[in-house]
């Protein structure tokens, strides 16, 4: 059992540490990492999602149950994040960073752990969980940033921004292809080859984006936000899975992907859209550190 845990958790956290080392010692140029992040976001991660989701037999997946469990967890996580930011007297940019820390997720880490513990079946259900999480999170965070901008909130540009997100497009394509019977010969190995490069490169890029120096910024708020993301939100999701009677595998993937630390791209989004970038960098870093303890805890709970 210990060996299985080491096989599942040493690779993703080892890649994070290696990414941090490479950024500070071998590849300090930010342009290198910016290019890698763009490649992952626009090509590799969408390929991983399409390849994994398209191979799912939709009739055998409790899609409605997973959707309810995940969306209830995300909905309550959204409300609690906003209330938390108000309790700590944060301005609107600070609220958006707490919100991203409370509901966004590092799906690359999820795929690494799911594949190690559950194999191809875990990857497939992890992709389904991702396909349910991404549209909700992108919609909520996009609205949150838009509310803070001057001028009237315009619905059509907002929806266009949400649904042109490459991850949402990939999820829609993956589900559509799965319902049509899967990817055709030739295309399938191409897409999956691109997807296989995603996890290692993605975790290296996440590690390069983390900063221990950021931890000095509003530490109590960081810790409470981390507790919400890593413990409270997955606990809500787990309770919903039990209430809905989901089997162990879909429950495991729903809870695992909801228990992941926030995405490293949260910092990029905060910086680009007027959020509190220093606070976002701090929350991202501390959640990844604490996840080294909380993720094994959740795996032990759901696979006991």
Digitized pLDDT (tens) for each residue of the chain, 304 residues in all: 566 667 777 888 888 889 889 998 889 898 888 888 888 888 888 888 888 788 887 778 898 999 999 999 999 999 999 999 999 999 999 999 999 999 999 888 898 898 888 888 888 899 889 889 988 998 898 888 888 666 666 777 777 777 777 888 888 898 899 888 888 888 888 888 888 788 788 888 878 877 777 677 788 999 999 999 999 999 999 999 999 999 999 999 999 999 999 987 787 778 767 788 888 888 988 999 999 999 999 999 988 7
What's the angle, vertex CA 46, arms to CA 272 and CA 19, rounded to 5? Answer: 65
Question: Are the C-beta atoms of residues 174 and 50 closer than 8 Å to each other?
Answer: yes
Q: How far is CA 132 from the centre of its chain?
A: 11
**pLDDT the model gives residue 157:** 75
**pLDDT the model gives residue 152:** 66
DSSP letters for 104-157: ---HHHHHHHHHHHHHHHHHHHHHHHHHHHHHHHHHHHHHHHHHTSSS---HHH
Distance CA 93, CA 107 (A): 24
**pLDDT the model gives residue 151:** 64
* pTM assigned to the model: 0.87
Residue 93: how many CA atoms within 13 Å on its side-chain side?
13
Query: Does residue 217 sit in helix, strand or coil?
Result: coil
Q: Where are the alpha helices (DSSP H) in 55-91?
A: 63-87
Top-tier CATH class for 2-302? mainly alpha
Question: Are the C-beta atoms of residues 225 and 84 closer than 8 Å to each other?
Answer: yes
Burial class of residue 148 in the structure, from the number of CB atoms within 10 Å of its CB (0-12 exposed, 13-18 middle, 19+ buried):
middle
Question: Are the C-beta atoms of residues 259 and 253 closer than 8 Å to each other?
Answer: no
Distance CA 206, CA 285 (A): 10
What's the angle, vertex CA 248, arms to CA 243 and CA 250, rounded to 5? Answer: 85
Of 214, 135, 206, whose CA–CA distance to 175 is shortest? 135
Question: Are the C-beta atoms of residues 198 and 47 closer than 8 Å to each other?
Answer: yes
How far are the Cα atoms of 4, 101, 168, 240, 303 from residue 297, in angstroms, in the given order?
14, 20, 30, 18, 10
Distance CA 256, CA 299 (A): 7
What's the angle, vertex CA 43, arms to CA 65 and CA 62, rounded to 5? Answer: 10
Distance CA 38, CA 295 (A): 27
């Amino acid at each position: 059992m210990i060996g299985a845990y080491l096989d599942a958790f040493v690779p993703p956290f080892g890649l994070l540490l290696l990414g941090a080392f490479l950024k500070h010692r071998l590849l300090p140029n930010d342009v290198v990492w910016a290019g890698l992040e763009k490649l992952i976001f626009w090509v590799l991660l969408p390929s991983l999602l399409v390849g994994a989701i398209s191979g799912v037999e939709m009739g055998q997946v409790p899609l409605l149950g997973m959707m309810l469990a995940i969306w209830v967890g995300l909905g309550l996580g959204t409300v609690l994040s906003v209330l938390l930011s108000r309790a700590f007297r944060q301005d609107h940019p600070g609220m958006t960073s707490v919100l991203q820390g409370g509901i966004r997720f590092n799906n690359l880490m999820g795929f690494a752990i799911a594949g190690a513990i559950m194999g191809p079946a875990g990857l497939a259900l992890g992709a389904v969980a991702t396909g349910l999480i991404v549209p909700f999170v992108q919609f909520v965070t996009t609205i949150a940033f838009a509310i803070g901008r001057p001028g009237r909130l315009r619905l059509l540009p907002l929806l266009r921004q949400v649904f042109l997100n490459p991850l949402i497009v990939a999820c829609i394509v993956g589900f559509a292809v799965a319902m049509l019977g899967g990817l055709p010969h030739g295309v399938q190995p191409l897409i999956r080859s691109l997807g296989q490069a995603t996890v290692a490169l993605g975790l290296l890029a996440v590690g390069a984006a983390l900063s221990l120096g950021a931890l000095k910024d509003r530490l109590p708020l960081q810790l409470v936000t981390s507790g919400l993301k890593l413990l409270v939100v997955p606990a809500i999701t787990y309770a919903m899975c039990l209430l809905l009677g989901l089997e162990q595998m879909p429950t495991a993937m729903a809870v695992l992907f909801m228990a992941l630390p926030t995405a490293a791209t949260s910092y990029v989004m905060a910086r680009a859209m007027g959020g509190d970038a220093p606070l976002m960098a701090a929350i991202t870093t501390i959640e990844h550190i604490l996840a080294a303890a909380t993720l094994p805890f959740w795996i032990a709970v759901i696979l006991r």
